[in-house]
Amino acid sequence: MSDRKRKDKVLLIYTGGTIGMVQDESGALQPFAMERIYDALPLLHRTNYIIDSCQLERIIDSSNMTPEFWVDIANIIEKRYDDYDGFVVLHGTDTMAYTASALSFMFKNLTKPIVLTGSQLPLGMLRSDGRENIICALEIASSQHMLIPEVTIFFESHLYRGNRSTKVSAENFDAFSSFNYPSLAKAGIKISYKPNLFLPVPTGELKVRKAFDRRIAVLKLFPGITPSVVQSIVCIPNLQGLIIETFGSGNAPTEPWFIEALQDALDKGIIVFNVTQCKAGAVQMRQYQASCDMDRIGVIGGHDITIEAAVTKLMYLLGNFPDDKDKVRDRLSKSLRGEISTDIHEDCEDL
Does 17 interact with ligand ASP (rule: CB under 6 A)?
A: yes
| Closest residue to ligand ASP in the complex (CB) | 92
Could you tell me the smallest distance in angstroms from the CB atom of residue 142 to ligand ASP?
24
Q: Which is the catalytic residue, given 18, 93, 99, 276?
A: 18
- How far is it, in rounded angstroms, from Cα 19 to Cα 90? 7
Tell me how many residues contact ligand ASP (CB under 6 A): 10
Nearer of residues 18 and 143 to ligand ASP, judged by Cβ: 18
For residues 253 and 257, give the distance between their C-alpha atoms in angstroms, rounded to a whole number.
Answer: 9
Residue 166: active-site member? no
| Least CB distance to ligand ASP at residue 177 (A) | 15
CA 100/CA 226 separation, integer angstroms = 34
Strands 158-161 and 151-155: antiparallel
| Spatial distance between the Cα atoms of 331 and 4, rounded to a whole number of angstroms | 42
Q: Give the binding range for ligand ASP (CB under 6 A) out of 13-21, 77-85, 147-155, 339-347.
A: 13-21
| Contact between 18 and ligand ASP per CB under 6 A | yes
Instruction: Give the x/- contact pattern for ligand ASP in 269-308, rule: CB under 6 A.
Output: ----------------------------------------
Q: Rounded to the nearest whole angstrom, what is the least distance from the CB of residue 12 to ligand ASP in the complex?
A: 16
> Using CA atoms, how far apart are residues 293 and 290, in angstroms rounded to an integer?
7
H-state helical runs in 109-178: 130-141
* Residue 223 near residue 198, CB atoms below 8 Å: no
Q: Are 133 and 155 in contact (CB under 8 A)?
A: yes
* Minimum separation from the CB atom of position 97 to ligand ASP (A): 11
Q: What b/e string do you get for 149-185 counting C-beta neighbours within 10 Å, with b at 16 or more?
A: bbbbbbbbbbbbbbbbbbbeeeeebebbbbebbebbb
Site map (CB under 6 A) of ligand ASP, residues 116-135, x = contact: --x-----------------
Question: Cβ closer to ligand ASP: 59 or 244?
Answer: 59
Considering beta carbons, is residue 170 or 189 the nearer one to ligand ASP? 170
Residue 23 CA, distance from chain mean position = 28
**Nearest distance in Å: CB 101, ligand ASP:** 15
Nearer to ligand ASP, 121 or 191 (CB): 121
Q: What is the DSSP string of 204-241?
A: S--EE-------EEEEE--TT--HHHHHHHHTSTT--E
Q: Is there binding between residue 92 and ligand ASP (CB under 6 A)?
A: yes
Which residues inside 179-198 make contact with ligand ASP, applying CB under 6 A? none
Q: Which stretch binds ligand ASP (CB under 6 A): 6-14, 86-94, 154-162, 317-325?
A: 86-94
Minimum Å gap between C-beta 285 and ligand ASP is: 34
Kindly tell me which of 18 and 335 has the beta carbon lying closer to ligand ASP. 18
Q: Output 59 or 114, the one with its CB closest to ligand ASP.
A: 59
Contacts 24+ apart (CB under 8 A), 283-287: 283/246, 283/249, 283/250, 284/249, 284/250, 285/250, 287/249, 287/250
Among residues 91 and 112, whose Cβ is nearest to ligand ASP?
91
Touching ligand ASP, residues 46-85 (CB under 6 A): 61-63
**Site stretch for ligand ASP (CB under 6 A), options 12-20, 182-190, 258-266, 308-316:** 12-20
Between CA 303 and CA 245 the distance in angstroms is 12
Query: What contacts 323, CB < 8 A, 6 or more positions away?
Result: none
Q: CA 124 to CA 254: how far, in whole Å?
A: 53
Whether 48 contacts 37, CB under 8 Å: no
Interface contacts to ligand ASP, rule CB under 6 A: 16-18, 61-63, 92-94, 118
Catalytic residue list: 18
